A and B are shown apart, each in its own frame.
Chain A
Amino acid sequence: MNSPQQDEERRTFREEASSLWLITLGPALWAVHFTVVYAATAVVCAKLGTAYLPYLRLGIAALTLIAVGAIAVIAWRSWRQWNYMTNQEYSHGQPTGEHRHEFLGHAAFLLAVLAAIATLYTALPAVFIAGCG
């Protein structure tokens, strides 16, 4: 049995459970994109050879579009949650539900921007490097 205090906390933070998904999803998408791009390039170069590079590049381009698109959706949703346009609030120091909510949106937004830049930088070598050597 949970104590009444634990139940109280559970109720208070339940509404932020989805925010925690939002905050992790941007960097997670970057990490998955990074791993897949590097692993696919290594496998294609080691096992198939340069003849298959055009397909690899197309694949990386498609994967990058999907990843950046998904990160953009996350960025948009966290931007809305931050609610900056309404109250121009940068600091969320109060122990209130609203401040927690906006803080998580703010952090998720910044992480999503970072993840989008990192994802694009990860894909750049595939565009500019011609061979496997």
Chain B
Amino acid sequence: MEKITLEAHKKMVGSTDAVFSFRGIIDIDLVDHVLASTHAKLETFEANPGIRRKVYLVLVECLQNLCKQVECLNHDDSHSGEYDKSAASFIIKTDAKGYYIATANFVANDKVESLSNWLNEINCYTREELRSVYNKILTNKSYSKQGGAGLGFVDILLKTNNKLEFTFEFVDDNYSFFSINVCVEK
């Protein structure tokens, strides 16, 4: 096994402002551990309870969404090719201006267009329009019983008042690499 060099470490963590970073196979147990750990850390270094709550809730939505997207992959062929498609990355950073949550994972190519369209659509909405969409999804009887990324992303936009920054990178005929950044201002 290769050693983690300082350069690789810097690439993974970036700088000293990282609260938490991870790259590897993700599951709900790991997400629970990260949420509990970050909750405890926020209690010690974020004095504003409103910001603490907001960061924690946005992180819950981001990581649970990440986990669902990985679960949705077809695991039969997710290990083929150069990358293990079950792997994901996320990093939580902070500076004087705010908290930054970045997540990245593989998604099936046939999901890219609808997800991209949805994110572009809700990114353009005003707060009132977002609230209206949120309520519409919430009261929709056919809404997924396990929740859904649709409501999660709308909720993140309502909580942060910042646009979602996202990209899709083509990987191969079956998969793309989806990365999304969220900012919670202090």
Decide whether A and B are members of one complex: no
Q: Which residues of B contact A (CB under 8 A)?
A: none
Q: Which residues of A contact B (CB under 8 A)?
A: none
